[in-house]
Structure 1
């Protein structure tokens, strides 16, 4: 996985608000196509780069210049892991809705929505916390994060 630069923590929270809205619309409409689009977005951010997130671009170019500058940054690896977790839940939800297993779609989408809302409203990124917990207990994750950045 390529290494993304550290990010302003307000950007992922902004993206989580938009993701929450998208997931809420999916729950209200049962649109597997909209959920498939969100699944694709999660996948691109998790497996390619966080820079592919269009909501991140909106934040960086439209909102961030209007906000007070911040120097604190978050590592990208936990955020990418969280996007991967979102990808799994959204993929399960998409398969559920598309195949007629609506209950599966609702449960998976609801779980993703809860995680997105926790991040948006409280700054609690469940996927990030899971990554940090795993990094403490899986030596290979700790090794990849301890290498100095260039």
Structure 2
């Protein structure tokens, strides 16, 4: 089955943000080495969204197969570029956190995870995507400077 990768169901984004919130919260409360494994797994999920498509994420697959059939098609879709950029921001924080944890800088690693967690929680609970807003702001700034 083919999926349009240029648009996304905003409900799928919030579902993915909720799942990401759960994983990142577990990272904060789980001891090493399990937290590093969880964070590496979430980094892979972010990377799929960035380098393949948002539809390639396990969270997207779970939404498409378990949730969307029960709630129906969305009333509207959104441009996939801002959320893909947001996934890149999440990937960056996850990789910084993972590198810090693996290097023994637990506090720095958990702070990086905390930043990603706050952004995911905000998206999951309100639909406000910090990474998407950063994308839109940088696009407006680039047009202004051009």
Q: Do the two structures share a fold, i.e. TM-score over 0.5?
A: yes
Pairwise CA distance, 1:103: 0.7
Partner of 2:101: 97
Pairwise CA distance, 1:47: 1.9
Whole-angstrom CA distance in 2 between matches of 1:61 and 1:16: 17
Pairwise CA distance, 1:5: 2.5
| Pair 1:138 & 2:139 matched | no
User: How many pairs are equivalent?
Assistant: 138
Partner of 2:83: 79
Which is worse superposed, 35-44 or 83-92? Answer: 35-44
Pairwise CA distance, 1:68: 4.4
| Pair 1:106 & 2:110 matched | yes
Whole-angstrom CA distance in 1 between matches of 2:99 and 2:109: 7
Match of 1:59 among 60, 63, 72: 63
> Structure 1, unaligned stretches of length 5 or more?
140-150
| Pair 1:44 & 2:45 matched | no
| Pair 1:5 & 2:9 matched | no
Over 6 Å off, 4+ runs: none
Which is worse superposed, 83-92 or 66-75? Answer: 66-75
CA RMSD, aligned part only?
Answer: 1.6
8 Å CA contact 2:21–2:117 kept in 1: the answer is: yes
> Structure 2, unaligned stretches of length 5 or more?
none
Whole-angstrom CA distance in 2 between matches of 1:48 and 1:68: 25
Superimposed CA distance per residue, residues 53-72 of structure 1 (whole angstroms, 9 cap, x where no aligned partner):
01111111111111143231
Pairwise CA distance, 1:93: 0.5
Which is worse superposed, 46-55 or 117-126? Answer: 46-55
Partner of 1:27: 28
Whole-angstrom CA distance in 2 between matches of 1:111 and 1:43: 18
